[in-house]
């Protein structure tokens, strides 16, 4: 299996601009680029597949360039749903600096900022030297633009395609960059860049484009900053434990796809996990492996060890063995319920909404189903007071019902 065949097997190829792309990836040493705009101060899990794509190609001798769009970030790539909010110069600069630091630390790729070659272009030069090569009919037939015609699209966002095409042209001329890689929603921008290069530099220029399928959840929605519950690659925004839990809870229908796209595991290793998923899905070996591989790659063995320690402490009721920071990490994404201190456990379960009735709460307690901060409680009259060890950290208490149901109580 050659490199391009492996990329196809992993589900990383949506479309290519010509059949020559396959031979170029397999047999040449290309300089290629992948771009992202600094619309946030961290990359998220939706970006991760593209970053690993760059790493896969780099391991085979290709040279990656990561472009963070300090200029295109001012404009905003058109969305199908409507105009983007324009960010301030200060916000974009802070985001750019954060992404530069993050990418440099994690992957060490060469990085460029398209603001460097666009900031001094005058309006007249932009229209004469670049805009002249773009046919409006061609531009409005691009998929994302076409979807916006009924609701309207500003000239600002409409011009994004020209700016991104200018990036490809500049990197080709200055760094002999001959391949652009992007998500499948970038097809129109990539092909426009190829057209600009050919019109400016000659029809015989050998440049290519490759798009990747967007990674989606089991319900078909994509990972992104605009979706709820964004999973960030920055440990201060999404901790290693939170990332581990997110991946560990991957739907059976998606876990093999994620293993192919988000890890460096071999085909043989992934196929073994697929057999385990089919024959013994209750062991969740595929999900455990996915979570461990990604957390280790992003946050090192120390980050993975911390995630596993918190996970084990919650599962085995050893919460008190965690540090306060680890306890706060454990409850960070739990829904916070509220109840007054000094109530009985039975009253607390009902008033917080964990149990629907006093009868149900009593059955759970008497049936050995309730743990408070890792300690099993069988007395319905157990008093929820600090003296009775009802507080886990700060004014929070962790209630566990059965094996999988966790609740965070804020006691007032």
C-beta of residue 73 within 8 angstroms of C-beta of residue 39: yes
Residue 309 sits at the vertex; the CA angle it makes with 267 and 277, to the nearest 5 degrees, is 30
Torsion of CA 340, 342, 347, 352, to 10 degrees: 20
C-beta of residue 298 within 8 angstroms of C-beta of residue 233: yes
Torsion of CA 99, 44, 304, 247, to 10 degrees: -170
* Residue the block writes with tokens 């009259």: 381
Cα–Cα dist 318/303, whole Å: 19
List residues forming the annotated binding site for ATP: 225
List residues forming the annotated binding site for L-tyrosine: 33, 160, 164
Name the nearest CA neighbour of 331 among 245, 254, 256, 260: 245
Q: What is the DSSP string of 166-219?
A: HHHHHHHHHH---EEEEEGGGHHHHHHHHHHHHHHH-TT---EEEEEPPPB-TT
C-beta of residue 192 within 8 angstroms of C-beta of residue 143: no
List residues forming the annotated binding site: 33, 160, 164, 225
Cα–Cα dist 149/403, whole Å: 52
């Amino acid at each position: 299996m050659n490199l391009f065949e492996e990329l196809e097997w992993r589900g990383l190829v949506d479309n290519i601009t010509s059949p020559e792309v396959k031979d170029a990836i397999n047999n040449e040493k290309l300089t290629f680029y992948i771009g992202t705009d600094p619309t946030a101060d961290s990359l998220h899990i939706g970006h991760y597949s593209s970053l690993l794509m760059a790493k896969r190609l780099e391991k085979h001798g290709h040279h990656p360039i990561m472009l963070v769009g300090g200029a295109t970030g001012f404009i905003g790539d058109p969305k199908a749903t409507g105009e983007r909010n324009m960010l301030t110069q200060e916000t974009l600069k802070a985001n750019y600096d954060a992404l530069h630091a993050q990418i440099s630390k994690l992957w060490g790729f060469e990085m460029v900022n398209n603001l460097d070659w666009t900031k001094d272009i005058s309006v007249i030069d932009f229209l004469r030297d670049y805009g002249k090569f773009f046919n409006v009919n061609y531009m409005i037939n691009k998929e994302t633009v076409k979807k916006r015609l009924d609701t309207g699209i500003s000239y600002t966002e409409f011009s994004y395609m020209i700016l991104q095409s200018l990036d490809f042209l500049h990197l080709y001329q200055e760094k002999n960059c001959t391949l652009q890689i992007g998500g499948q929603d970038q097809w129109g921008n990539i092909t426009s860049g190829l057209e600009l290069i050919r019109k400016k530099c000659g029809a015989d220029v050998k440049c290519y484009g490759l798009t990747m399928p967007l990674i989606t959840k089991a319900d078909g929605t994509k990972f992104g900053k605009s979706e709820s519950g964004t999973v960030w690659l920055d440990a201060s925004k999404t901790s290693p434990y939170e990332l581990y839990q997110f991946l560990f809870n991957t739907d059976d229908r998606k876990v093999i796809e994620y293993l192919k796209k988000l890890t460096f595991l071999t085909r043989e290793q992934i196929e073994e996990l697929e057999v385990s998923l089919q024959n013994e899905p209750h062991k969740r070996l595929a999900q455990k492996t996915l979570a461990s591989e990604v957390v280790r790659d992003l946050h090192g063995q120390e980050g993975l060890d911390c995630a596993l320690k918190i996970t084990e402490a919650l599962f085995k009721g050893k919460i008190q063995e965690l540090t306060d920071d680890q306890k706060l990490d454990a409850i960070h994404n739990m829904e916070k319920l509220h109840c007054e201190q000094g109530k009985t456990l039975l009253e607390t379960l009902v008033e917080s909404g964990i149990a629907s009735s006093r009868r149900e709460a009593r059955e759970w307690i008497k049936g050995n189903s309730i743990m408070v901060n890792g300690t099993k409680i069988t007395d319905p009259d157990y008093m929820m007071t600090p003296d009775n060890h009802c507080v886990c950290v700060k004014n929070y208490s962790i209630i566990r019902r059965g094996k999988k149901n966790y609740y965070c109580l804020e006691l007032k």
